[in-house]
Amino acid sequence: MRRSSRRLERLRRAALAAGLACLGLIPGGGLSRADSPAAARDAVPASHEVIELSSAFPGFRAAFVMRDVAAGRTVRHDPALAATRLSPCSTFKIPNSLIGLETGVIPDPSFVLPWDGKRREVEAWNRDHDLRSAIRDSVVWYYQELARRVGPRRMQRFVHAFGYGNQDTSGGVDRFWLGSTLRISADEQVEFLARLHRGELPGVSARSLAIVKEILVQDPPGPGLVYRGKTGSCSDPGAPPHGWWVGSVERDSRLVVFAALIEGDGASGRVCRPLAEKALVRLGVLPDVAR
Protein backbone atom coordinates (compact mmCIF):
# COMPACT_ATOMS: atom_id res chain seq x y z
CA MET A 1 0.00 0.00 0.00
CA ARG A 2 2.81 2.40 0.86
CA ARG A 3 4.57 1.73 -2.44
CA SER A 4 1.27 2.25 -4.31
CA SER A 5 0.67 5.57 -2.51
CA ARG A 6 4.14 6.78 -3.38
CA ARG A 7 3.59 5.87 -7.02
CA LEU A 8 0.24 7.72 -7.13
CA GLU A 9 1.87 10.81 -5.63
CA ARG A 10 4.67 10.67 -8.21
CA LEU A 11 2.10 10.40 -10.99
CA ARG A 12 0.09 13.30 -9.56
CA ARG A 13 3.10 15.57 -9.38
CA ALA A 14 4.29 14.51 -12.79
CA ALA A 15 0.90 15.36 -14.29
CA LEU A 16 1.04 18.79 -12.67
CA ALA A 17 4.51 19.35 -14.08
CA ALA A 18 3.31 18.41 -17.55
CA GLY A 19 0.56 21.02 -17.38
CA LEU A 20 2.97 23.66 -16.12
CA ALA A 21 5.49 22.86 -18.82
CA CYS A 22 2.76 23.14 -21.44
CA LEU A 23 1.94 26.65 -20.22
CA GLY A 24 5.56 27.63 -19.80
CA LEU A 25 4.86 28.56 -16.17
CA ILE A 26 7.46 26.45 -14.34
CA PRO A 27 9.35 28.87 -12.10
CA GLY A 28 13.12 28.66 -12.33
CA GLY A 29 14.41 26.19 -9.78
CA GLY A 30 10.93 25.75 -8.36
CA LEU A 31 10.49 22.03 -9.08
CA SER A 32 12.46 19.02 -8.04
CA ARG A 33 13.78 16.38 -10.46
CA ALA A 34 10.77 14.22 -9.66
CA ASP A 35 8.50 17.09 -10.82
CA SER A 36 10.34 17.79 -14.07
CA PRO A 37 8.66 17.43 -17.50
CA ALA A 38 10.94 14.47 -18.24
CA ALA A 39 9.52 12.65 -15.24
CA ALA A 40 6.01 13.24 -16.65
CA ARG A 41 6.54 11.27 -19.85
CA ASP A 42 4.73 8.20 -18.56
CA ALA A 43 1.98 10.14 -16.77
CA VAL A 44 -0.60 12.43 -18.38
CA PRO A 45 0.68 13.62 -21.77
CA ALA A 46 1.12 17.39 -21.91
CA SER A 47 -1.19 17.52 -24.92
CA HIS A 48 -4.09 16.56 -22.65
CA GLU A 49 -3.49 19.70 -20.57
CA VAL A 50 -5.12 18.12 -17.51
CA ILE A 51 -3.70 18.84 -14.06
CA GLU A 52 -4.61 17.60 -10.59
CA LEU A 53 -5.44 20.32 -8.05
CA SER A 54 -7.87 18.59 -5.66
CA SER A 55 -5.73 19.39 -2.63
CA ALA A 56 -6.08 23.12 -3.35
CA PHE A 57 -9.88 22.88 -2.95
CA PRO A 58 -10.44 20.72 0.16
CA GLY A 59 -14.05 19.83 0.92
CA PHE A 60 -15.42 20.80 -2.49
CA ARG A 61 -15.78 19.45 -5.95
CA ALA A 62 -13.87 21.99 -8.00
CA ALA A 63 -13.04 22.94 -11.55
CA PHE A 64 -10.11 25.13 -12.47
CA VAL A 65 -9.34 26.38 -15.98
CA MET A 66 -6.37 28.56 -16.88
CA ARG A 67 -5.25 29.87 -20.26
CA ASP A 68 -2.05 31.51 -21.41
CA VAL A 69 -3.70 33.93 -23.83
CA ALA A 70 -0.71 34.62 -26.09
CA ALA A 71 0.18 30.95 -26.40
CA GLY A 72 -3.47 29.87 -26.64
CA ARG A 73 -2.78 26.99 -24.24
CA THR A 74 -5.19 25.87 -21.54
CA VAL A 75 -4.92 23.58 -18.53
CA ARG A 76 -7.86 22.15 -16.61
CA HIS A 77 -8.60 20.48 -13.33
CA ASP A 78 -11.75 18.29 -13.55
CA PRO A 79 -12.56 18.80 -17.23
CA ALA A 80 -16.06 17.35 -16.79
CA LEU A 81 -17.05 19.97 -14.22
CA ALA A 82 -15.21 22.65 -16.19
CA ALA A 83 -17.53 21.95 -19.13
CA THR A 84 -20.69 22.01 -16.97
CA ARG A 85 -22.86 25.11 -17.24
CA LEU A 86 -23.98 26.72 -13.99
CA SER A 87 -25.34 30.14 -13.11
CA PRO A 88 -22.67 32.84 -13.45
CA CYS A 89 -24.03 34.58 -10.34
CA SER A 90 -22.16 37.84 -9.74
CA THR A 91 -19.42 37.09 -12.25
CA PHE A 92 -22.02 38.41 -14.71
CA LYS A 93 -21.23 41.84 -13.28
CA ILE A 94 -18.29 41.88 -15.71
CA PRO A 95 -20.42 41.79 -18.91
CA ASN A 96 -23.18 43.73 -17.16
CA SER A 97 -20.72 46.59 -16.58
CA LEU A 98 -19.63 46.56 -20.22
CA ILE A 99 -23.27 46.58 -21.39
CA GLY A 100 -24.18 49.43 -19.05
CA LEU A 101 -21.32 51.53 -20.36
CA GLU A 102 -21.94 50.75 -24.03
CA THR A 103 -25.66 51.57 -23.81
CA GLY A 104 -24.95 54.83 -21.98
CA VAL A 105 -26.89 53.73 -18.90
CA ILE A 106 -23.61 54.29 -17.02
CA PRO A 107 -21.72 57.29 -18.40
CA ASP A 108 -18.55 56.63 -16.40
CA PRO A 109 -17.27 54.62 -13.40
CA SER A 110 -18.23 57.40 -10.97
CA PHE A 111 -21.93 57.16 -11.88
CA VAL A 112 -23.95 56.85 -8.67
CA LEU A 113 -27.20 55.00 -8.14
CA PRO A 114 -28.95 55.99 -4.90
CA TRP A 115 -29.75 53.32 -2.32
CA ASP A 116 -33.49 52.62 -2.21
CA GLY A 117 -33.55 52.48 1.59
CA LYS A 118 -34.29 48.76 1.78
CA ARG A 119 -31.94 47.09 4.23
CA ARG A 120 -30.17 44.03 2.86
CA GLU A 121 -28.12 41.26 4.46
CA VAL A 122 -24.76 42.69 3.37
CA GLU A 123 -24.16 45.92 5.28
CA ALA A 124 -21.98 47.39 2.54
CA TRP A 125 -24.99 47.31 0.17
CA ASN A 126 -27.03 49.66 2.36
CA ARG A 127 -25.79 52.95 0.88
CA ASP A 128 -25.38 54.74 -2.42
CA HIS A 129 -22.89 53.17 -4.85
CA ASP A 130 -21.03 54.04 -8.01
CA LEU A 131 -19.78 51.49 -10.52
CA ARG A 132 -16.40 51.05 -8.81
CA SER A 133 -17.82 50.42 -5.36
CA ALA A 134 -20.69 48.31 -6.72
CA ILE A 135 -18.37 45.80 -8.37
CA ARG A 136 -15.95 45.88 -5.43
CA ASP A 137 -18.72 45.10 -2.92
CA SER A 138 -20.69 42.95 -5.42
CA VAL A 139 -23.82 45.03 -4.90
CA VAL A 140 -26.68 43.03 -6.37
CA TRP A 141 -29.32 45.79 -6.29
CA TYR A 142 -27.07 48.19 -8.23
CA TYR A 143 -26.62 45.75 -11.08
CA GLN A 144 -30.28 44.80 -11.05
CA GLU A 145 -31.23 48.45 -11.50
CA LEU A 146 -28.56 48.80 -14.21
CA ALA A 147 -30.06 45.80 -16.05
CA ARG A 148 -33.59 47.22 -15.78
CA ARG A 149 -32.38 50.47 -17.34
CA VAL A 150 -30.62 48.59 -20.14
CA GLY A 151 -33.85 46.71 -20.83
CA PRO A 152 -34.47 43.11 -21.94
CA ARG A 153 -34.00 43.64 -25.69
CA ARG A 154 -30.66 45.39 -25.51
CA MET A 155 -29.47 43.01 -22.78
CA GLN A 156 -30.31 39.94 -24.87
CA ARG A 157 -28.62 41.46 -27.91
CA PHE A 158 -25.34 41.98 -26.07
CA VAL A 159 -25.39 38.61 -24.27
CA HIS A 160 -25.93 36.92 -27.65
CA ALA A 161 -23.20 38.99 -29.33
CA PHE A 162 -20.78 38.07 -26.54
CA GLY A 163 -21.62 34.37 -26.97
CA TYR A 164 -21.95 34.29 -23.19
CA GLY A 165 -22.78 30.76 -22.00
CA ASN A 166 -26.20 29.55 -23.09
CA GLN A 167 -27.24 33.19 -23.80
CA ASP A 168 -30.62 32.66 -22.09
CA THR A 169 -31.88 35.90 -20.50
CA SER A 170 -35.52 34.78 -20.30
CA GLY A 171 -35.47 34.53 -16.50
CA GLY A 172 -36.23 38.23 -16.09
CA VAL A 173 -34.03 41.20 -16.94
CA ASP A 174 -32.98 41.70 -13.29
CA ARG A 175 -32.71 38.02 -12.29
CA PHE A 176 -31.57 35.85 -15.20
CA TRP A 177 -27.95 35.57 -14.00
CA LEU A 178 -28.81 34.77 -10.35
CA GLY A 179 -29.53 31.03 -10.22
CA SER A 180 -31.98 31.38 -13.08
CA THR A 181 -31.89 30.79 -16.84
CA LEU A 182 -28.41 32.04 -17.80
CA ARG A 183 -25.74 29.34 -17.48
CA ILE A 184 -22.03 29.32 -18.27
CA SER A 185 -19.19 26.83 -17.81
CA ALA A 186 -15.71 27.48 -16.46
CA ASP A 187 -14.39 26.78 -19.97
CA GLU A 188 -16.73 29.44 -21.35
CA GLN A 189 -15.81 31.92 -18.61
CA VAL A 190 -12.17 31.62 -19.68
CA GLU A 191 -13.07 32.02 -23.36
CA PHE A 192 -15.10 35.14 -22.56
CA LEU A 193 -12.25 36.65 -20.51
CA ALA A 194 -9.72 35.87 -23.23
CA ARG A 195 -11.88 37.62 -25.83
CA LEU A 196 -12.39 40.55 -23.47
CA HIS A 197 -8.65 41.02 -22.99
CA ARG A 198 -7.99 40.67 -26.72
CA GLY A 199 -10.61 43.35 -27.44
CA GLU A 200 -12.73 40.91 -29.44
CA LEU A 201 -16.16 41.44 -27.84
CA PRO A 202 -18.56 42.87 -30.44
CA GLY A 203 -19.92 46.32 -29.71
CA VAL A 204 -17.45 47.07 -26.91
CA SER A 205 -15.36 50.20 -27.25
CA ALA A 206 -11.78 50.54 -26.09
CA ARG A 207 -13.00 53.06 -23.49
CA SER A 208 -15.55 50.69 -21.94
CA LEU A 209 -13.05 47.87 -21.96
CA ALA A 210 -10.43 50.01 -20.21
CA ILE A 211 -12.93 51.08 -17.52
CA VAL A 212 -14.04 47.53 -16.74
CA LYS A 213 -10.48 46.23 -16.65
CA GLU A 214 -9.60 49.04 -14.23
CA ILE A 215 -12.48 48.42 -11.81
CA LEU A 216 -11.63 44.69 -11.63
CA VAL A 217 -8.06 45.28 -10.38
CA GLN A 218 -7.33 43.72 -6.99
CA ASP A 219 -4.67 44.69 -4.47
CA PRO A 220 -1.36 43.71 -6.09
CA PRO A 221 0.12 40.55 -4.53
CA GLY A 222 3.55 41.43 -5.92
CA PRO A 223 5.49 44.02 -7.95
CA GLY A 224 5.14 44.17 -11.71
CA LEU A 225 1.83 42.33 -11.65
CA VAL A 226 -1.78 43.29 -12.43
CA TYR A 227 -4.34 41.01 -10.81
CA ARG A 228 -8.05 41.19 -11.67
CA GLY A 229 -10.97 39.16 -10.41
CA LYS A 230 -14.65 38.83 -9.60
CA THR A 231 -16.51 36.52 -7.24
CA GLY A 232 -19.88 34.88 -7.77
CA SER A 233 -22.14 33.02 -5.32
CA CYS A 234 -25.55 31.41 -5.76
CA SER A 235 -27.39 28.13 -6.31
CA ASP A 236 -29.17 26.65 -9.28
CA PRO A 237 -32.62 25.16 -8.58
CA GLY A 238 -32.30 21.75 -6.92
CA ALA A 239 -28.49 21.92 -6.88
CA PRO A 240 -25.93 22.59 -4.14
CA PRO A 241 -24.46 26.09 -3.78
CA HIS A 242 -21.55 27.03 -5.98
CA GLY A 243 -18.96 29.78 -5.97
CA TRP A 244 -16.78 31.40 -8.62
CA TRP A 245 -13.53 33.33 -8.72
CA VAL A 246 -12.69 34.40 -12.27
CA GLY A 247 -10.13 36.86 -13.54
CA SER A 248 -6.71 37.46 -15.01
CA VAL A 249 -3.07 37.98 -14.13
CA GLU A 250 -0.75 40.17 -16.20
CA ARG A 251 2.95 39.86 -15.51
CA ASP A 252 5.59 41.30 -17.84
CA SER A 253 4.36 40.36 -21.33
CA ARG A 254 2.30 37.39 -20.17
CA LEU A 255 -1.47 37.34 -19.70
CA VAL A 256 -3.20 34.45 -17.98
CA VAL A 257 -6.98 34.24 -17.61
CA PHE A 258 -8.63 31.77 -15.24
CA ALA A 259 -11.91 30.53 -13.82
CA ALA A 260 -12.26 28.61 -10.57
CA LEU A 261 -15.52 26.96 -9.54
CA ILE A 262 -16.37 25.16 -6.30
CA GLU A 263 -19.54 23.22 -5.63
CA GLY A 264 -20.99 21.85 -2.39
CA ASP A 265 -22.18 22.86 1.07
CA GLY A 266 -20.67 26.18 2.07
CA ALA A 267 -19.51 27.07 -1.44
CA SER A 268 -19.37 30.77 -2.27
CA GLY A 269 -17.23 33.20 -4.18
CA ARG A 270 -15.67 34.44 -0.96
CA VAL A 271 -14.62 30.88 -0.11
CA CYS A 272 -13.52 30.13 -3.67
CA ARG A 273 -11.16 33.09 -4.02
CA PRO A 274 -8.44 32.09 -1.51
CA LEU A 275 -8.58 28.48 -2.70
CA ALA A 276 -8.15 29.56 -6.31
CA GLU A 277 -5.28 31.79 -5.28
CA LYS A 278 -3.56 28.78 -3.73
CA ALA A 279 -3.85 27.05 -7.09
CA LEU A 280 -2.48 30.12 -8.87
CA VAL A 281 0.47 30.21 -6.48
CA ARG A 282 1.08 26.51 -7.02
CA LEU A 283 1.11 27.07 -10.76
CA GLY A 284 3.60 29.92 -10.46
CA VAL A 285 1.14 32.59 -11.67
CA LEU A 286 0.82 34.45 -8.37
CA PRO A 287 3.75 34.92 -5.97
CA ASP A 288 3.69 32.96 -2.73
CA VAL A 289 2.93 35.82 -0.35
CA ALA A 290 0.52 36.02 2.58
CA ARG A 291 -2.83 37.44 1.49
Active site residue 97: no
d(CA 40, CA 21): 10
Which residue out of 32, 47, 55, 90 is catalytically annotated?
Answer: 90
d(CA 82, CA 247): 15
Q: Classify burial at 253, counting beta carbons within 10 Å of its beta carbon; exposed 0-12, middle 13-18, buried 19 or more.
A: exposed
d(CA 102, CA 82): 30
Amino acid at 284: G
d(CA 81, CA 267): 15
- CA 62 to chain centroid, in Å, comes to 13
Element (H, E) at 232: strand 225-235
Catalytically active residues are: 90
